[in-house]
A and B are shown apart, each in its own frame.
Chain A
Amino acid sequence: MKKTLALILSLAMAASLLSGCVSSREENTFTSDTSGNGTGDTSGEVQQTSGGEVNVYNWGEYIDESVLEDFEEATGIKVNYQMYDSNETMYGKIAPGGTDYDVVIPSDYMIARMIEEDMLEPLNFDNIPNFADIDPELKNPEYDPENLYSVPYMWGLMGVIYNTTMVDEEDLGSWDLLWNEKYADDIVMIDNSRDAIGIALKRLGHSYNTTDTAQITEAVDTLIAQKPILQGYVMDEVFGKMEGGNAAIGTYYYGDYLTMLENNPDLGFYIPEEGTNIYVDAMCILKGAPNKENAEAFINYMCSTEAGLKNCEEIWYSTPLMSVREELDPEVSSDPYAYPDEAIMAQCESYAGLPQNILDLYDSEWTRLKSASVD
């Protein structure tokens, strides 16, 4: 009897642990035993440091993990690698303090917000000589005008991904497809406030960066109207949804579409005529990072041709590194959606940092959308 009781008690404890567990699905710690001595360095570009470690917090499915091992081997710095699934998740984890991440890779608008809130450390570009290889077009961007805090990692376009066997050709072309009742229960919507509200704003002909509260509320109203025909809100779950034909229509980033296409040749992609988002994800160092120099060495390594090429061929996002673009298969580097020409660029708008009252509005409107009943 005691045994059963002990069993039940331990189960209860396990249960309380489980119910309190954060969504750790995206958080795998990458550790490796390779503790190189730094002499086997072949890239010639890597700064030598005296070992130690670096804590990196990046998007899920956003790196060729062998690059981390290469870096460890080349520098002797151990990489602790964790992942998040949206800018907002990353922000929510870091904002209260108490984390010891060194490198984070947020998107443009989030970098603007983090600079504004004094969460980032200025970089020492002497330690990042590979910055010279970054496309000049991407230097001194709007979100970091003097380019003090960030080094671009990848960039790309957002668009609509659809299953050619399930969606009729004539319905394509606009963001309206995501609101098309013909495909009720076959649509998955992106699960973060900036992208979802942004899509609704664009569809109504407004700017992504509007600070007109009426336009934002109107956009969220249309999202609430869309909710009943959605299958769900997803981030990286979209891979399984689209690859397995479990949903017909989704919206995500072009690089990820190319990855999905490898697993499901029936998928198609287009840029809606109302325009879309062009984004840059850039590497930054957090204020008070315990391993700043190692972090700079890491950023520098990620900007090496070798690492850049590996990452690019793994995740298929657009690279900011000019040397990598030259090395890429011409079929890839001339892909009009990966490296768009001016006509497509004219349709794109990037996210700018928003003032605090609008950010608060996004938060409360997002809660309003998500808590709205569908039945």
Chain B
Amino acid sequence: MRNKWIAAPYVGWMAVFVVAPLIVVLVYALTREAPDGSWYLTAENFAGMAGYAAVFARSFLLAGIATVVCILLGYPMAYFLSRERGRLRSMATMLIMLPMWMNFLLRTYSWVFLLERNGFFNTLLSSIGLPKLDIINTSGAVVLGMVYNFLPFMVLPIFSVITKIDNRVIEAAQDLGAGSFQVFRRVIFPLSLPGVLSGVTMVFIPSVSTFVISRLLGGGKSLLLGDLIEMQFLGAAYNPHLGSAISLVMMVIVLVCMGIMNRFGEGEGEAVLL
């Protein structure tokens, strides 16, 4: 009984700010506005969806690459961090967190100035006699932006899961003759998978729906899903019905992806990788 009351504000919050907007999105996605201003039920918003297949594919590909890079960079980082103790660890955690204290847009903007044709890196390169690199306005720059912005969301969950692993489990493995690589492969890695999974979720979803990063670092040339949706609401092509339909399709695909991944996680340990 008491528990229910405590949950009430949360339920209220969810109803107003999550469920209700979802219903609005659903209604928009399934309707169109007639020339006289009235709305009618239709599926035509979804009819043209195949035309955006390339945009869907590009978004999922870039977000996927960004997620993989985040795992490759973030896992070792989290692993070594978790083995440290005391000041070094808190210092390093702080450094990972530090950029998050600055506004997301500002951080992304600063990359524009760094990567720009006559920006910081290229000025540096040409001053030591090396040729300039064209990084800005490429897919690579977009992935870089995603990795930079979302890496902490990969490191922190893995870090917290690894630090939670009971030391006695590791000692037991060592007692049974496992080398340090085997300990990692057979014990630490499988036990840290839940952290990897939540990291993947927290990196992949914002990456797949971002539009600021692709706008600023991609030059608005390689459209991502986020850009496509934003265009339908605030950009040049005002059509909230189509925008809602695309959002809905994206949500469904993301849900399916997450479902498959969680399956993967439940199977536990040995089935995965390595």
Residues of A at the B interface (CB closer than 8 Å) are 1, 4-5, 7-8, 11-12, 14-16, 18-19, 21-25, 86, 88-89, 91-93, 95-96, 185, 188, 191-193, 227, 230-234, 240, 244-247, 356, 362-364, 366-368, 370-371, 373-375
Given contacts A23-B230, A231-B137, A232-B137, contact A363 B238 (CB under 8 A): yes
The answer to whether B190 has its CB under 8 Å from any CB of chain A is: no
CB contact between B116 and one of A19, A244, A373 (< 8 Å): that residue: A244
Tell me if A's interface is mostly helix, strand, loop or mixed. helix
In the bound complex, residues from chain B placing their C-beta under 8 Å from that of A25 are: 105, 109
Bound complex: CA A359 to CA B222 (Å): 24
- Residue in chain B with minimal CB distance to A93: B234
The answer to whether B185 has its CB under 8 Å from any CB of chain A is: no
Bound complex: CA A363 to CA B233 (Å): 11
CB contact between A4 and one of B160, B210, B231 (< 8 Å): that residue: B160
In the bound complex, residues from chain B placing their C-beta under 8 Å from that of A15 are: 150, 153, 202, 206
In the bound complex, residues from chain A placing their C-beta under 8 Å from that of B230 are: 22-23
Do B105 and A24 touch (CB < 8 A)? yes
Given contacts A5-B160, A370-B220, contact A95 B236 (CB under 8 A): no
Bound complex: CA A12 to CA B198 (Å): 11
Do B163 and A1 touch (CB < 8 A)? yes
Closest 10 pairs (CB-CB, A-B): A232-B219, A363-B237, A233-B220, A193-B236, A19-B206, A246-B117, A88-B236, A4-B160, A92-B234, A18-B104
CB contact between B222 and one of A14, A19, A374 (< 8 Å): that residue: A374
From 185 to 221 in chain B, residues with beta carbon under 8 angstroms from any chain A beta carbon are 202, 205-206, 209-212, 215, 218-221
Do B134 and A185 touch (CB < 8 A)? yes
Residues of B at the A interface (CB closer than 8 Å) are 35, 51-52, 54-55, 58, 97, 100, 104-105, 109, 112, 116-119, 134, 136-137, 150, 152-153, 156-157, 159-160, 163-164, 202, 205-206, 209-212, 215, 218-223, 227-228, 230-240, 242
**Residue among B112, B134, B236 with the highest chain A CB neighbour number at 10 A:** B236
Bound complex: CA A94 to CA B237 (Å): 14
Bound complex: CA A12 to CA B157 (Å): 10
Do A246 and B160 touch (CB < 8 A)? no
Given contacts A15-B206, A233-B219, A371-B54, contact A364 B237 (CB under 8 A): yes
- Residue in chain B with minimal CB distance to A364: B237
Bound complex: CA A7 to CA B242 (Å): 37
Do B235 and A88 touch (CB < 8 A)? yes
Query: Told that A21-B104, A246-B116 touch, could you supply 18 new A-B pairs with CB distance under 8 A?
Result: A1-B163, A4-B156, A4-B159, A4-B163, A11-B100, A22-B234, A86-B236, A88-B236, A92-B238, A93-B234, A185-B134, A230-B221, A233-B221, A363-B238, A363-B239, A366-B237, A371-B223, A373-B58
In the bound complex, residues from chain B placing their C-beta under 8 Å from that of A368 are: 51
* A-B CB contact pairs (8 Å), 25 listed: A4-B159, A7-B156, A8-B157, A11-B152, A11-B156, A12-B202, A14-B100, A15-B202, A21-B212, A23-B230, A23-B234, A86-B236, A89-B235, A91-B238, A93-B234, A95-B238, A185-B134, A193-B237, A230-B219, A232-B218, A240-B116, A244-B117, A244-B119, A367-B237, A370-B237
Bound complex: CA A374 to CA B219 (Å): 12
Bound complex: CA A8 to CA B104 (Å): 17
Do B236 and A366 touch (CB < 8 A)? yes
Given contacts A8-B156, A234-B220, contact A192 B210 (CB under 8 A): no
Do A23 and B215 touch (CB < 8 A)? yes
In the bound complex, residues from chain A placing their C-beta under 8 Å from that of B58 are: 373
In the bound complex, residues from chain B placing their C-beta under 8 Å from that of A363 are: 236-239
- Residue in chain A with minimal CB distance to B105: A25
Do B237 and A11 touch (CB < 8 A)? no
- Residue in chain A with minimal CB distance to B113: A240
Bound complex: CA A247 to CA B221 (Å): 15
Bound complex: CA A153 to CA B227 (Å): 31
Give the shortest distance, in Å, between B241 (CB) and chain A (any CB): 11
In the bound complex, residues from chain A placing their C-beta under 8 Å from that of B119 are: 244, 246
CB contact between B210 and one of A19, A92, A93, A185 (< 8 Å): that residue: A19
Bound complex: CA A79 to CA B222 (Å): 38
Bound complex: CA A371 to CA B57 (Å): 12
In the bound complex, residues from chain B placing their C-beta under 8 Å from that of A371 are: 51-52, 54-55, 223, 228
Bound complex: CA A91 to CA B202 (Å): 33
